Chain A
């Protein structure tokens, strides 16, 4: 009987989950420790809001960048990584973005916004954030095959194209939000745009 190494039994999704989860936990620990040094309540709240926001932003950008980078990698490398790994990371980053977004939204609503739900719909940057969150939540719920099966969801790809729209709402959110640095926002989105352009690279012909 042929022996199977334990490593090969780990699915790409699990690998992606472990790596991403570790990164998020590490980042959370570092940011949490830094937050302990902040003595002023409002500043600490803003710190956490920024931390969750940046984690969500990074995860969404990574998720959106996977496919274009995969295309580039496919053209550059003779030995291509299995597509399943790329897809697993894309999915995990997307889930992370949605979860970080939910944490960011919940924190904002319960601290800085002081449960002021009326202002959510009335203030453009908050509304943009809310729409981003709604899209990411919808994508999160349709990211699990069991749920897709349970709700008999078809055409999920069409729904997941809203990830790009979510990024645009995120841009609006950051351009109008009080504490978001505008320069960093523009640089990040310009970078994302450049990476996204790689998506139009033609795939290499199959041997």
Chain B
């Protein structure tokens, strides 16, 4: 009682404060004047028991109420808030044989890893507990008890289940071990369009469901199944042909949009990110990412290969300039805009050369060239001509830049995020947030879809003049991404999260002409059973919309987590030096989150960032935090391009991976990056592993010695360009060498050069 009363006098929401109060109370009692002898059991209360109880209750009421009021702070301070999630994830990884990640996707090739010490053979039976036929995956032995299971739904088959979890059985040397895995089967997601206004057509691909949707001015014309992971489309031959690029299929498919017939396949290699047709209609460009980013050019309409142009970065968007000899491209991993052209090197005409990139300060969110290619419209979340990041705290300034492709200069800027008379709180930004898709009209107009505020703006003359705003009520689409020009004043917009496309006409009062639901509506999904894929799809839909929805401050998750990943640009998110946001992909089952592991669950980021720092959302949704968490946990990590390479499956490659895994063990990486998730989900004082860290940083600021780092999962290492907790290492070789001077971040000193090479090869294969 005394301890609680003392604590309540100066309450600190820490457990040590309660113990200290007890200690002080004990000292006061032990050394207070009186005739109690050593060994006495304390003060005897001479009152009746009920009176004593009442007295205790009165004395305890205030401190207990105070303690109750401070319970959340106390739990946060003690690292116990949401600790159940972290415990659950860690226990799952400790339960051998363990499997990671704990989720299976229906829409792309993926790898699962199993840790089964001393095992010789491992296989995974997916869906063994269901009545339907199961899928058995054989494990590749990587040594040291690590096995890799490769699952490609196209080759192995899609799971025949309607539930959002899979009963998986691990067969380890004949013994069976049941494990539950989440199962994600996304609905159709039509994103960005290609337009053929002269033919009144537009097309959008759904990468998740391997489909292409072709629209005309009246609505949906065709819904066509295509290859694995369609990423983009482009019309050519006056809208009579449609090229479809794929991420996982090595061919570009050529369709007849009028009939939906598949006419041709163009071998172009996998990881086709974008496809574009030049303004004169004579050249088709296929931009590829993967291990060797490049652009492949084909002549049209013959589809004869012309040239292959290597790129500096994996392309995200491409556009032609004023001629077919000038190509502009952006990368999600770079804050620069790139241009390559034939005219760049006058001494060697006909040779493609890269020109100096244009610094924007942030990566391009979306871009669109004017019809003549003279202007490139680029949407970003900030613009810094020097390339240096702005130091504003959580600085996001959505804008569209008009870039003169001839002079390679920014000619005009339009800051889009703005407030309207609808605002309910001071400073609300409720219009023009997160420009996500653009299309240039033949009349010089520009249509822009805003995913953050559910709008489409029609800018009559490029970036000049007041926009005509089609707001959420008239648009009736949530988180719109793509816009298309269908000609004659008709246009279309897509909502990947909502699973819908709509066509709009020139009528100003009731613009919507047709609404096409390409995924089941909410009501249908809701009426299915709890735990079913339909209910999961509904939850993920809510979460996806929350991911793109603007907070009152004009910031959404998408603002920094470009396409659900990261924009890779340095931000002041409350630390020094400026750091890029971490990717939100592939993080399921790896609680806690952020670099220091300070957030136990995704939902806590919504509560402590979006709802407080960013002042919450205009739209009320009590389930947003859980839906957002479910959506983020459903985001797959980027597919390793090596998985699709033929060389990767050769015995020589597998042997080198085994040697790399052995080097991983020899380098004692397993102390923290334990199999199979390549993390033990632990947090360490940064200076315990990097004693030299922060004593003289690249920005000259000393780092706090209290800084913690969360052990990152190494799955998906191939997609990273910067390493260690502040991205200070630019390669894995640097991590092993110059950033491990004290040899505490693994025993890299014990590894030979050959072992290091094998280790890097192994890490890049994960």
- Per the 8 Å Cβ criterion, residues 121-136 of A in contact with B are 122-128, 130-131, 134-135
Closest Cβ of chain A to B207, distance in Å, is 38
A114–B26 contact, CB under 8 A? no
Known: A42-B671, A162-B19. A155 touches B706 (CB 8 A): no
Given the contacts A114-B687, A131-B15, A181 and B705 also touching, CB distance less than 8 Å: no
Residues in B neighbouring A42, C-beta threshold 8 A: 668, 671, 743-744, 747
Asked if B542 lies at the interface with its beta carbon under 8 angstroms from chain A, I say no
Which chain A residues in 110-166 approach chain B with CB under 8 Å? 112-114, 116, 118-119, 122-128, 130-131, 134-135, 138, 148-149, 152-159, 162, 165
Tell me which residues across on chain B come within 8 A of A162, comparing CB atoms.
Answer: 19, 22
Produce 1/0 per residue, A163-207, CB < 8 A to B. 001000100100111110111001000000000000000000000
Q: Which residue of B lies closest to A43 (CB)?
A: B668
Q: Is the CB of A159 within 8 A of B706?
A: no
Which residues 579-595 of B sit at the A interface, judged by CB distance below 8 A? none
Q: Contact mask B25-54 → A, CB, 8 Å, 1/0?
A: 010011100001111111000000000000
| Residues from chain B with Cβ under 8 Å of A177 in the complex | 682
Question: Quick one: which of B26, B40, B706 contacts A123, CB cutoff 8 A?
Answer: B706
- Indicate if the CB atoms of A131 and B682 lie closer than 8 Å: no
Contact A128 B26 (CB under 8 A): no
Residue in contact with A179 in the complex, picked from B91, B682, B691, CB distance below 8 Å: B682
Q: Which residues of B contact A41 (CB under 8 A)?
A: 743-744
Interface residues of B in 659-708 (CB under 8 A from A): 668, 671-672, 680, 682-685, 687-688, 691, 704-706, 708
Q: Which residues of A contact B683 (CB under 8 A)?
A: 123, 176, 178
Checking B15, B30, B42 against A153 with a beta-carbon cut-off of 8 angstroms, the contacting residue is: B30
Kindly list chain B residues whose C-beta atoms are within 8 Å of the C-beta of A169.
15, 19
B729 within 8 A of A: no
Name the residue on A nearest B77 (C-beta).
A124
Identify which of residues 43-95 in chain B touch chain A, using a CB-to-CB cut-off of 8 Å. Answer: 77-80, 83, 87, 90-91, 94-95
B750 touches A175 (CB 8 A): no
Whole-angstrom CA separation of A130 from B78 in the bound complex: 13
Cβ contacts under 8 Å, A148 to chain B: 38
Say whether B472 faces chain A, with CB atoms less than 8 Å apart.
no
A82 within 8 A of B: no
B727 near A: Cβ within 8 Å?
Answer: no
* B36 contacts A155, C-beta separation under 8 Å: yes
Contact A155 B26 (CB under 8 A): yes
Q: Contact mask A93-119 → B, CB, 8 Å, 1/0?
A: 000000000000000000011101011
B residues less than 8 Å from A124 (CB atoms):
77-80
* Closest Cβ–Cβ distance, residue A93 to chain B (whole Å): 21
The size of the chain A interface, using a CB distance under 8 A, is: 47
Min CB gap A192→B, angstroms: 18
Q: Which A residues, 57 to 105, have Cβ-Cβ distances below 8 Å to chain B?
A: none
Using CB atoms, name the residue of chain B closest to A122: B706
Judge if B506 is at the interface, Cβ distance under 8 Å: no
Q: Which of A119, A153, A175 contacts B706 (CB 8 A)?
A: A119
Assembled-state Cα–Cα distance A153/B30 (Å)? 7
Pick the residue among B29, B31, B38, B684 that contacts A158 (CB under 8 A): B29
Minimum CB distance partner of B680 in chain A: A178
Chain A residues whose CB sits within 8 angstroms of the CB of B672 once the complex forms: 178
The residue in chain B whose Cβ has the minimal distance to the Cβ of A177 is B682
A155:B79 contact, CB within 8 angstroms:
no
Please determine whether B15 and A128 come into contact, CB atoms closer than 8 angstroms: yes
Across the interface, do B94 and A118 meet the contact criterion of CB distance under 8 Å?
A: no
Q: Which residues from A are CB-within-8-Å of B706?
A: 118-119, 122-123
Asked if B517 lies at the interface with its beta carbon under 8 angstroms from chain A, I say no
CA distance A158 to B28 in the complex (A): 12
Complex formed: what's the CA distance from A173 to B83 in Å? 12
A147→B77 CA distance, assembly (Å): 36
- Whether the Cβ atoms of B80 and A172 lie closer than 8 Å is yes
What is the minimal beta-carbon distance from B708 to any residue of chain A, in angstroms? 6
Q: Is B23 an interface residue (CB 8 A)?
A: yes
Overall SS of chain A's interface? helix
B90 touches A154 (CB 8 A): no
Whole-angstrom distance from the CB of B77 to the nearest CB of chain A?
7
- A130 vs chain B, min Cβ distance (A): 8
User: Are B38 and A156 in contact, with the CB atoms below 8 A?
Assistant: yes
With contact pairs A119-B685, A155-B36, A156-B39 given, residues A172 and B78 touching in the complex (Cβ less than 8 Å): yes
Chain B nearest CB, measured from A151 CB (Å): 9
Chain A proximity of B625: nearest CB distance (Å): 23
Task: Return chain A residues, CB-CB under 8 Å to B31.
Answer: 152, 154
CB distance from B42 to the nearest CB of A (A): 6
Report whether A182 and B91 are in contact in the complex, using a CB–CB cutoff of 8 Å.
yes
Give min CB distance, B545 to chain A, whole Å: 35
A131–B17 CA distance with the chains assembled, in angstroms: 10
Are A157 and B41 in contact (CB-based, < 8 A)? Answer: yes
Is B473 positioned at the interface, with any CB of A under 8 Å from its CB?
no
Q: How far does the Cβ of B512 sit from chain A's closest Cβ, in whole Å? A: 54
CB-CB under 8 A from B747, the residues of chain A are: 39-40, 42-43
A51 near B: Cβ within 8 Å?
no
Q: Which residues of chain A are near B80, meaning CB under 8 Å?
A: 124, 172
Q: Which residue of A lies closest to B668 (CB)?
A: A40
Instruction: Specify which of A40, A138, A153, A186 is in contact with B23 (CB 8 Å cutoff).
Output: A138
Nearest-CB residue, chain A, relative to B93: A182
- Closest partner residue, chain B, to A38 (CB atom): B668
The residues in B between 1 and 35 inclusive whose CB is less than 8 angstroms from any CB of A are: 14-16, 19, 22-23, 26, 29-31
**With A175-B87, A183-B94 as given contacts, are A39 and B15 in contact (CB-CB < 8 Å)?**
no
Residues on the A chain within 8 Å of B95, using CB: 183
A residues in contact with B682, CB < 8 Å: 177-179
Residue in contact with B19 in the complex, picked from A39, A149, A165, CB distance below 8 Å: A165
List B contacts of A31 (CB < 8 A).
none
With A113-B685, A179-B680 given, can you name 18 additional A-B contacts, CB distance below 8 Å? A40-B750, A41-B743, A42-B668, A43-B671, A114-B691, A116-B687, A119-B685, A124-B78, A154-B31, A155-B30, A156-B38, A156-B39, A158-B26, A162-B19, A172-B80, A176-B79, A178-B711, A186-B91
28 contacts between A and B (CB under 8 A): A42-B671, A43-B671, A113-B688, A116-B705, A122-B706, A123-B708, A124-B80, A125-B79, A126-B685, A128-B15, A128-B78, A135-B19, A149-B38, A152-B38, A153-B38, A154-B40, A155-B36, A155-B40, A158-B30, A162-B22, A165-B22, A169-B15, A169-B19, A172-B78, A172-B80, A175-B83, A176-B79, A176-B83
Query: Considering the complex of A and B, which 3 residue pairs feature the smallest CB-CB distances, nearest first?
Result: A124-B79, A178-B682, A122-B706
